[in-house]
Amino acid sequence: MKDQKGFTAWFTGLPCCGKTTIAKKLYEILKKHGYKVEHLDGDILRKDLTSDLGFSKKDREENLKRVTFVAKLLTRNNVIVLATFVSPYEKRRQKIRKEINKFIEIYVKCPVEICIKRDVKGMYKKALAGKIKDFTGINDPYEEPINPDLVIKSDTETVEESVEKVLKKLKEQGFIS
């Protein structure tokens, strides 16, 4: 195992923008290089840790509050955390940054039209049909990060290009060697 310092790389963006795809590839690379790394994904954690919550603004806030606690614990114990959450509200993301401290915000930017085309679960279709309320990007806002540490343009970059940008930024920030 590498002698490492923990940090959280927080991927934010619209549903289906590519957050999880990029983080999974990054996870594989970091693991291969001997880093202790965990991937906290919104879809997975909502099945267990936050299964009692819905998607109202209040429930989203509570979901992110719980996830932040987990990420902070892992980070404090020198684990690299890759967190992939829509996290649509700027104020909450700023609270997360402050609470975790060793933190990098990665905005995976992608037009909603592209996200709709990528949606294999049909969530956007249901939201557009009025079957899902409070769906980010359709009937609930996504507040773009004001000052993210890195912007990934997943509609024009390949996954490999995006991952390389993240790795480069992590090295520049001194998070990995």
Residue (of 114, 136, 97, 133) closest to 8 by Cα position: 97
For the record, the structure tokens of 90 come out as 């700027």
Known catalytic residue at 87: yes
Other C-beta atoms lying within 10 Å of the C-beta of residue 154: 24
Strand partners, 8: 81, 103
- Cα 52 from chain centre: 21
Residue (of 135, 113, 117) closest to 126 by Cα position: 135
Residue (of 120, 93, 106) closest to 15 by Cα position: 120
Residue (of 89, 36, 44) closest to 65 by Cα position: 89
DSSP reduced 3-state for 91: helix
Residue among 51, 87, 154, 162 flagged as catalytic: 87
User: What are the residue numbers of the active site?
Assistant: 87
